[in-house]
Structure 1
Amino acid sequence: MTSRERIVVVGDLLNDIVAVPRGGFQRNTDTTASIRQRPGGSGANTAAWLASLGADVDYVGAVGSADAARHRQMFADAGVRAHLQVEVGVPTGTVVIVIEGDRRTMLTERGANALLDTAALTPALLETASVVHLSAYSFLDGFGVEGAREIVDAATAAGVPVALNPGSIGYLRDFGVPAFREATEGVRVIFPNLVEAELLTGERTPARMVASLLERHEVVALTMGAEGVLAARRGEEPRRTPAPRVRLVDPTGAGDAFAAGFLHRWAQDGDVDAAAASGVMVAARAVLAIGGRPPF
């Protein structure tokens, strides 16, 4: 791949409030639940998982001034070099997540994330990067097509491949598939799940989804939950990597953890099969605990 070693992650940072009801969810009354506050955000989660694997990782994101010091310390404790754009008078993004088995309902305030400036990804950060990983939330509800193009074009000009997590299906629908395709032209690696891939391709089967996405991206890793991942490099047949069977506690951040495991291995030598195997193992660890980041 490259003699460069660092992975740079650009994306959202959130305060997660995760609620797991005990027993059935009761409407219009009290439901006993386990409720935990956790640091989150797709980009920030991926950065933390990468650091837990021993990767040299920089994270670029936006945070509200009221809790900037707390988040900066959490990144430092996790082994992540954080480059935080601090917004005064704006809250850090927050999401309330209600977990019901393998289903999640999310109430999201994007907060400072919507103000992230693409200039935060500096030439110095690109200079020795092996990969730039971009969380699509940042442009779906943030700097838009133009900003995404700035990041992809700058990284490409610096000889750095770009990987992408497509983000939420709701944001994708609102943003629109044509705009998404324009924003992500030149992205080398993409990590959609089944519902995202169906929206982006119009295809109904995993194999056809991967084949369609490979027309635009060099590497596709289609995550399929408990069914594992279907991954391929352009010109090769997709291969399925099964997921380990584990007890699902909280699926929050499983896709972010998968991306971390995949990129940590792929950045070494470009081996897609080995990267997919690494990704599913890290994702399996992620669903064992409440929250989207590695437990310390």
Structure 2
Amino acid sequence: MTRRVIAVGDVNHDILVSPHHTVRPASDTPSTVRFRPGGSAANTAAWLASAGVAVDLVGAIGSSDFDRYVAELEDCGVTPHLQREIGVTTGTIIIIVSPRGDDPTMFTERGANALLSPSAVTPELLSTAAAVHLSAYSFVDGFGVAGARDVIDRASAAGVPVVVNPSSADYIRDFGVDAFRTAARGASVIFPNLEEGELLTGETSPERMIAAFHELAETVVLTLGPDGAMGQHRSGAPVVRVPAPKVRVVDPTGAGDAFAAGFLTSWIERPDLDSAMTSAVQLAARAIMLIGGRPGV
């Protein structure tokens, strides 16, 4: 089997702001400010490429940024397939990074990302793919239930497993829990965090969350932040628990994207859950020691 992965979803400008102390409302707060390329799917693609996996990125971008972003993605080993949207801004996020390493606060403009078409995942791409990584941002504020079903159903018919990475709990609330469950049903793997897990299943116990998610996906991996991850391949199989490496948190932006890339890097070679989750938490640990959501920036 080929090792190519199709990453479907967002390409963004990230503006990362790390205040040096408590924010002073209506005044100046000394901060470190960095501009970085981002977007959940683009980040995952970059981490996959850094691990030696051939990866195609399907996304949408504003026309004024097209040439620069194509070159940038190619430079990091990603093959881009980008819709060029004329007169539309590229997706942009301002990310306020907590000095304590907490989850960041984000101010998001979806821009061209909201215009991505599921037809951009072409039969030609599927014919050489080992897996499709579908960032849920692409359908919870984009091509919707019908588009997600189109991608998952066509990939499944082609024998290509689909991995769904939920977006944010608030985007899912806006989209609707039932709509999300309909859109994601039939995925091979799903990666919720605890907040997303509770929202989508109504359960508070990680074990019960995982059991409930098996209605949607064969393999469920629940991310637990600094406590690592736990997962189960098929209902009734042993639950696997993997601790997270203890590292200094610089910026948690993109940790979930790196987790997905680490998982896929191992999983497409050998679908062993323990090995894939270990690879996932190790790559996520690398990500949180860097500023920005991609490797080597």
Same fold (TM over 0.5): yes
- Structure 1 distance, partners of 2:139, 2:81, is 18
- Structure 2 distance, partners of 1:243, 1:185, is 28
Q: Specify the code of the residue in structure 2 equivalent to 1:194.
A: L
Answering whether residue 97 of structure 2 is matched by residue 96 of structure 1, we say no
Q: Specify the code of the residue in structure 1 equivalent to 2:192.
A: P
- More moved, 60-69 vs 211-220: 211-220
SS in 2 for 1:236: coil
- Structure 2 distance, partners of 1:287, 1:144, is 30
Could you tell me whether the CA contact under 8 Å between 2:255 and 2:287 is conserved in 1? yes
**Deviation of the 1:25 alpha carbon:** 2.1
- The gaps in structure 1 that reach 5 residues or longer are none
Could you tell me whether the CA contact under 8 Å between 2:240 and 2:273 is conserved in 1? no
**Deviation of the 1:103 alpha carbon:** 2.7
Answering whether residue 32 of structure 2 is matched by residue 31 of structure 1, we say no
TM-score by length of structure 1 reads 0.98
- More moved, 278-287 vs 19-28: 19-28
Tell me the equivalent position of 1:201: 201
Answering whether residue 14 of structure 2 is matched by residue 12 of structure 1, we say no
Could you tell me whether the CA contact under 8 Å between 2:221 and 2:231 is conserved in 1? yes
SS in 1 for 2:5: strand
Q: Specify the code of the residue in structure 2 equivalent to 1:110.
A: R
Tell me the equivalent position of 1:174: 174
Deviations 1:45-66 (A, max 9, x none): 0000000000011110000011
Could you tell me whether the CA contact under 8 Å between 2:47 and 2:261 is conserved in 1? yes
Could you tell me whether the CA contact under 8 Å between 1:220 and 1:233 is conserved in 2? yes
Could you tell me whether the CA contact under 8 Å between 1:286 and 1:293 is conserved in 2? yes
Could you tell me whether the CA contact under 8 Å between 2:11 and 2:61 is conserved in 1? yes
Matches within 5 A, 1:255-270: 255-270=256-271
Deviations 1:75-123 (A, max 9, x none): 0111000001000100000000001121311000000000011111110
Could you tell me whether the CA contact under 8 Å between 2:194 and 2:223 is conserved in 1? yes
Answering whether residue 121 of structure 2 is matched by residue 110 of structure 1, we say no
- Structure 2 distance, partners of 1:32, 1:218, is 47
**Deviation of the 1:239 alpha carbon:** 1.8
Tell me the equivalent position of 2:60: 62
TM-score by length of structure 2 reads 0.97
Answering whether residue 247 of structure 2 is matched by residue 249 of structure 1, we say no
**Deviation of the 1:280 alpha carbon:** 0.3
Q: Specify the code of the residue in structure 2 equivalent to 1:173.
A: R
- Structure 1 distance, partners of 2:191, 2:184, is 12
- Structure 1 distance, partners of 2:253, 2:106, is 10
- Structure 2 distance, partners of 1:71, 1:8, is 17
- Structure 1 distance, partners of 2:190, 2:208, is 15
Matches within 5 A, 1:32-47: 32-47=30-45
SS in 2 for 1:268: coil
**Deviation of the 1:240 alpha carbon:** 1.3
Question: How many residue pairs were aligned?
Answer: 294
Deviations 1:122-174 (A, max 9, x none): 10000010100000000000010001111001101100010011101111000
Tell me the equivalent position of 2:238: 237
